[in-house]
């Protein structure tokens, strides 16, 4: 297990937003953080998310979705639990129990982006870039 502050990103299905956030934090934090992600109704990583993350040289193709409640049952503890559900899904977004710092960073659901395939990918790229920028900004809060 990596050292550093432990972070859990949660969204409903663990199929897009939380997967992207986990990957970016682990990539950009330089070992200062260890991120995981989960959902409370895990499905599968959304293929267009895999595609747009590959453009950033991040391979999510082998990633499996995980269940937040299973993490809780295992007694996993986190310094931060960050929900990334959009406002329309906020009532479905799970709350991870325990004594942690909770944050909410709402992002649109990649699976709800509509249009042609290229329009969908463009929309998911915007979500990806927003998640990356939010993590970069957040990491600046922890610079010594």
Catalytic residue numbers read 11, 85, 93
Residue matched to tokens 């997967």: 19
- Residues in Cβ contact with 54 at an 8 Å cutoff, skipping those fewer than 6 apart: 60, 61
Q: For residues 116, 118, 121 and 126, what is the CA-based torsion angle, rounded to 10 degrees?
A: -100
Q: Under a CB-based contact definition with an 8 Å cutoff, are residues 68 and 87 in contact? A: no
Single out the residue of 142, 67, 41 nearest to residue 101, CA to CA. Answer: 142
SS3 113: coil
Taking the C-alpha atoms of residue 14 and residue 65, their distance in angstroms, rounded to an integer, is 5
């Amino acid at each position: 297990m990596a050292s550093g502050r432990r972070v859990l990103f949660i969204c409903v299905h663990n199929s897009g937003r939380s997967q992207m956030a986990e990957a970016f934090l682990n990539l950009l934090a330089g070992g200062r953080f260890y991120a995981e992600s989960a959902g409370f109704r895990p499905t599968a990583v959304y293929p267009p998310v895999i595609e747009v993350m590959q453009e950033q040289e991040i391979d999510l193709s082998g990633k499996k979705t995980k269940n937040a409640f299973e993490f809780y049952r295992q007694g996993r503890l986190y310094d931060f639990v960050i929900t990334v559900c959009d406002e329309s899904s906020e009532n479905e977004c799970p709350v991870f129990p325990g004594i942690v710092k909770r944050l909410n960073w709402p992002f649109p659901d990649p699976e709800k982006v509509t249009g042609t395939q290229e329009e969908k990918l463009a929309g998911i790229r915007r979500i990806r870039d927003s998640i990356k920028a939010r993590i970069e900004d957040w990491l600046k809060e922890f610079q010594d």
